[in-house]
């Protein structure tokens, strides 16, 4: 799911993490930092 998105476009994964109001993608942002 998010992992493939992260693999294809890491920058977009961070963007999603910052925009997602539910905070589900937040851990991905910290993981990529």
Express the helix, strand and coil content of the chain in percent, nearest 5 each.
75, 0, 25
| Residue ranges of domains in the chain | 2-32
* pLDDT per position as a tens digit, 12-28: 655 555 555 665 555 55
* pLDDT per position as a tens digit, 5-15: 455 555 665 55
- Say what the pLDDT of residue 19 is: 59
Distance CA(23)–CA(16), nearest Å, equals: 10
């Amino acid at each position: 799911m998010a992992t493939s998105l992260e693999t294809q476009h890491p920058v977009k994964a961070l963007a999603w993490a910052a925009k997602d109001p539910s905070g589900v993608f937040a851990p991905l942002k910290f993981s990529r930092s």
